[in-house]
Amino acid sequence: MIAANPNAIFEDLFLYDEYIEMGDIEQRYHLQPFERRKIYNDFCEIKDVSGETNRDKIKRIRGLYHNKKSKKDESWSFTDFKSFYYWYVAQYDKQKSCCEYCKTPEKNIAIITRKIKAKGFKSRGKHLEVERRDSTVGNNKYNKDNCVLCCIFCNNAKSTLFKQDEFKPIADGIGLAVRNILKIDKFSNKLDLSC
């Protein structure tokens, strides 16, 4: 018998860190191998608003989690990958895929960074980054209350110096500069005013 939401089987299993044998999945959910293959393939290929597949998204967010965790930074407070993943996707949804600070849609940041050939923009810029509202000592935890998603330009500029409210004038300037670069007419392009 297949569960009510087959995709949930794989989303859930993908979010555990330990490797899970496909045979275990077949046994656990009473699936024939061909059923399991179809559900798995379908799940992997589902795309979100940015066009990223589930397969790539989970892999990318898992990389972010392990990258932060491996640095053994004691401000890192997400206890497991699953909680981090669910925070990330909920926050992305809440911010409507825009930078929290300058309000630029992620897809517009990606357009700009694709054009920049400089080193450092090859791996960054395509997606929003995990950033702390407050990075001052004592208040600098990476947790669901202190973290937001922001663009590479705001992340670089805000550094650990500014708190969110202190950074606002700079973020407004970055948003304006980015719109000028993209030549977006804010009165006619409703799509890009979504944030």
- Binding residues among 34-93 for Zn ion as defined by CB under 5 A: none
User: Contact region for Zn ion (CB under 5 A) — 16-24, 32-40, 54-62, 94-102?
Assistant: 94-102
- As a dihedral over the C-alpha atoms of residue 123, residue 125, residue 129, residue 132, rounded to 10 degrees, the angle is 110
Least Cβ distance, residue 121 to Zn ion (angstroms): 15
How many angstroms separate the CA atoms of 180 and 189, rounded? Answer: 13
User: Contact region for Zn ion (CB under 5 A) — 48-56, 76-84, 132-140, 146-154?
Assistant: 146-154
Instruction: Taking each helix axis as running N to C, give the angle between helix 6-14 and helix 54-70, from 0 to 180 degrees, rounded to the nearest 10.
Output: 20
Least Cβ distance, residue 180 to Zn ion (angstroms): 14
Angle at 61 between CA 58 and CA 65, to 5 degrees: 130
**61 versus 154: smaller Cβ distance to Zn ion:** 154
Least Cβ distance, residue 95 to Zn ion (angstroms): 11
How many angstroms separate the CA atoms of 36 and 47, rounded? Answer: 19
Looking up tokens 């656990």, which residue turns up? 28
Site string for Zn ion, 149-168 (x = CB under 5 A): --x--x--------------
Interface with Zn ion (CB under 5 A), residue total 5
**Would you give the distance in Å from CA 80 to the centre of its chain?**
16
Does the CA dihedral 164-165-166-167 come out positive or negative? positive
Least Cβ distance, residue 82 to Zn ion (angstroms): 28
How many angstroms separate the CA atoms of 101 and 175, rounded? Answer: 8
Among 39, 61, 99, 130, binds Zn ion (CB under 5 A): 99
Q: Is 130 in the site for Zn ion (CB under 5 A)?
A: no
Q: Which residues bind Zn ion (CB under 5 A)?
A: 99, 101-102, 151, 154
